[in-house]
Amino acid sequence: MSRRLAFLGPPGTFSEEAALRYEPEAQLVPFVSISAVAAALDSGMADEGVVPIENSLEGSVTETLDVLIQNARLSLRNEIVLPIEHLLLAGPGTKASDVKVISSIPQALAQCRGFIERCFPKAALEAALSTAAAVEEVMGREGAAAIGNRRAAELYGAEVLSEGIQDRSSNLTRFVVLSDEDHPPTGDDKTSLAFAFAVEDRSGLLVSALEEFSKRGINLSKIESRPSKERLGVYIFLADSDGHRTEQPLAECLERVREKCSFFRVLGSYPRYREAQ
C-alpha cells in the first residue's frame, strides 16, 4: 500500500504540487490547514505531511513554525523547494476588462502586488483559504478572477488571463516533510532546532549559544525568533544549521547549546534540497 501523504489542500495548491514532486506514487490526502496536517499525523490518518515553511519574498510561514515548536512528536524528514509561478485565472469567457475582484491567499496577493497595481488598480482584493479554493470559488462568478497555479486551472477548468504575474521571477517556496522521525545521515544534510533561555538568565546567552557553532566552523543558514506565547518579550529562537544531528562536530555543538537553554528541541535532520540536474 502506498504511503498516505497529507498536504495543505484542497487539490490544486502549491503544497499538493510539492507533495507530488516529493512522492509521486503516494496517496495524497488534503487538509484545510497546517495544524490539521499535523493532527492527521498525530492521529495516524497520514504517514507524512507536506507544508510550506518559507517563501523567498514573504518570509517564514509562522503557523508551520508554531506547529513545530509546540508538537514534540513531529520531526522534519525532508525539504522541497518549489519555484512559484502565479497565474491570473477566471471562468471561461471572462476577459481581463471584466475583472472587478481578485481572490487568493494573502501571500499570493502580496507576491503579485505590482502586477495588480499596474493592471487592476481598481479591483477589490479578497482573501481565500488557499489558492486552489480561490480558483474554485471564482468559477462561474461574474467579474471575478483568482491567483493560482496551472494545476488549479486544469482541475477546475479555469482560463488563464495572464501568467507569470509574480513581482519577482525568483519566487521560491520551501516546503518541509513532517514525520514521526527525521532522516538518516546522507552526507549532505541540514538540522533545524528551536531553543530559548529562561527569563531571569543573564544577557549574552544568545551570543554564547551562537559561538558554539562559529568556533566549530558550523554554518547557520537561518536564524529567527517567534513569541513564546507564554509571556510578553520572551522568544523562542529557530535555526537551521549545516550537518546531521548525529554526526560530529554538530552533535557536540548541540549538546553544548542545550546546556545553556531552558528550552531546547532538535526539530529534525534531513537531506539538503538539491535541484535535479
Active-site residue 175, yes or no?
yes
Instruction: Please give the pLDDT value at position 201.
Output: 57
pTM: 0.88
- Taken in order of first residue, the domains within the chain and their CATH numbers are 4-84+172-179 (3.40.190.10), 87-163 (3.40.190.10), 189-271 (3.30.70.260)
Whether a cis peptide bond, with omega within 30° of 0, leads into 227 is no
**Average pLDDT, integer, range 225-235:** 85
* Of 7, 175, 197, 213, catalytic: 175
pLDDT tens-place string over residues 58-87? 889 999 999 999 999 999 999 999 999 999
Of 38, 63, 50, which Cα lies nearest the Cα of 13? 50
Active-site residue 173, yes or no?
yes
Of 94, 134, 79, 92, which Cα lies nearest the Cα of 112? 134
Strands 144-148 and 101-104: parallel
Rounded Cα distance between 116 and 120, Å, is: 5
* Of 173, 195, 197, 237, catalytic: 173
